[in-house]
Amino acid sequence: MRTLIQALRTKELRNKILFVLFMILIYRIGSFIPTPGVDYTAVHDCVTTMSGSSQENFIGLVNLFSGGSLLQLSIFALGVTPYITASIVVQLLRVVIPRFEQLHREGQSGEAKLTEYTRWVTIGLALLQSATIIVTARSGALFNYMCSNVIADDSPITIIVMILVMTGATGLIMWMAELITDKGIGNGMSVLIFISICSGFLTNLWNIHDETNGWVKFGVVVGVFIVILIFVDYVELCQRRIPVQYTRRMIGRKMYGGSSTYLPMKINMSGVIPPIFAASILSVPTLIAQFGSSDQSWVKWINTNLGSSTTVWYIVLYSVMIVFFTFFYTSVTFNPEEVADDMKQYGGFIPGIRAGRATAEYLNYVVNRLNTVGAIYILFVALIPTVLIKALNLNTALPFGGTTILIIAGVGLDTLRQAKAQTEQFQYERFLTATDPDDEDDDKDKKAGKDDDTTSDDAPAISAASDKDKTASVSDDSDSDDSSDDDSDDDAVASTK
């Protein structure tokens, strides 16, 4: 709360917050604009008659990330899902394509090129996903076959127009997210996902109260959500700090380095990616089964064992995939050998560990231990909704799943952290750019044409004193030699003269 108040008091940050709110307003308005060719009345009736479905299948995830726009077939039906998928694909391709890894190491120019590739992949995925959504909506599979005829005119021209409109809207969302990142606070995509989740959270939560017709189960669900959210916030802030020291280097006549710092490593290094990947892969058999006959044995087995997130087979496969993707995605995003080489290049080392290969092996050992704890942590958070549904005998899906809680906690903490950092940055810049009263007097004297010797002598004295303070602050380091102090004093005396 203190960070928010300080941000609102700063004009620059206040403008950024207002810009983010304006982008969010446009995003929410677009979520209610129906796609041309869709019978909005029929879609509304379908959504009303549908029972709550699990948030942990692929359709549920897409609908979650779009703020409910998917089941409404609005122009923003895809939401940020294509961009998220494209970003993950480009990251994974770094392992397969050496060119992508080379671009990643080139710094800002390489990252700009990777961002361009991500945009093109996003458009391609938007075309594919919009076509899939329209086909499933025509067949009724999107609404669990509870209704159909949501598309009044299913001519090829109408279908093509709907696909192009959804794809163009996805490009608009991508552009809005990048604007939020550049001119606002926080990561644009993360902010839009956060808003999408929160938009339907209270409504879905109140549906549990209507189903149970009482306050006991409703209070249990709310209490569990608050406890889990606090637990997730605590774990996400936990770090394994590896101490790092830098050797001293002589540059000219001054000594640099010799400082001590640490390498922060989170417990959950893979973030929210493992449950998203697991739910997406487990939804593939269900989507394939929709094209088969309901009388076939394999279709019955898939619908019975993988059609719901509360079945034993689904829970087992879901858990195994979460563990696998926790280790796999961390191995892609964190390279111990690269970190060890960078530390060695800049003269850094871990106390008690030799620089180079030994450091890489030690980092790999620490990462594996953290991944083990992180996988257990993600499993615990992801499976709690399933346990609650079983324990409370609910027919409505919980408004919060493992993915939802991880996103809410992660995005909230990251946005607050960036807001605090930008607030401190503006305060620091304001302090540095503040005009010294003595300098103001000097300027007034110069403008008035007063050539006072005292004033002219004060300026070099202040400059010399500031140079001496700067030299003293550098030479006051515990790792500096006495010779550097003498040289600094001589320079200060010379500048005073």
Structural domains of the chain, ranges and CATH numbers in brackets: 1-193 (1.10.3370.10), 200-400 (1.10.3370.10)
Residue that the structure tokens 């770090």 belong to: 239
Residue 180 pLDDT: 92
Distance of CA 87 to the CA centre of its chain: 11
Tokens representing 256 are 């640099």
Residue 453 pLDDT: 46
Residue 58 pLDDT: 60
CB atoms near residue 158 (< 10 Å) = 16
Tokens representing 180 are 């939020």
CA distance 315 to 323: 12
The model scores a pTM over 0.85: no
Tokens representing 65 are 């990330």
Nearest CA to 85 among 130, 131, 24, 126?
A: 126
Q: Which residues contact 229 (CB under 8 A, 6 or more apart)?
A: 405, 408, 409
CA distance 130 to 124: 10
Q: Which residues contact 289 (CB under 8 A, 6 or more apart)?
A: 298, 299, 302, 303
Q: Could you give the C-alpha distances from 6 to 16, 87, 188, 243, 413, in angstroms and in order?
A: 13, 33, 22, 33, 17
| Inter-residue long-range contacts of 202-209, CB under 8 Å, 24+ positions, other chains counted | 202/399, 203/399, 204/52, 204/396, 204/397, 204/398, 204/399, 205/399, 207/52, 207/396, 207/399, 208/394, 208/396, 208/398, 208/399
Please work out, in degrees rounded to the nearest 5, the angle formed at the alpha carbon of residue 294 by the alpha carbons of 289 and 296.
Answer: 85
Q: Which residues contact 358 (CB under 8 A, 6 or more apart)?
A: none
Residue 396 pLDDT: 62
CA distance 391 to 420: 41
Residue 492 pLDDT: 41
CA distance 440 to 448: 12
Ramachandran bin of 144, using left for φ above 0, alpha for ψ from -120 to 50, beta for the remaining angles: left
In the beta sheet, which residues pair with residue 245? Answer: 260, 349
Torsion angle of the four alpha carbons 419, 177, 331, 232, in this order, in degrees rounded to the nearest 10: 50
- Block mean pLDDT (10 aa), the chain, length 497: 71 86 92 86 74 54 73 86 87 85 84 91 92 82 71 84 93 93 86 84 74 76 86 89 82 69 89 83 78 79 80 89 91 89 86 90 94 92 80 68 79 82 76 58 50 42 39 41 45 40
CA distance 470 to 476: 10
Terminal CA-CA length for the chain: 52
Residue 473 pLDDT: 42
CA distance 224 to 221: 5
SS3 261: strand
Tokens representing 268 are 């959950």
Residue that the structure tokens 């995830």 belong to: 61
Query: Do 240 and 366 contact (CB within 8 A), yes or no?
Result: yes
Distance of CA 342 to the CA centre of its chain: 25
Residues 229, 231, 233, 236, CA torsion sign:
negative
Tokens representing 47 are 């959504």
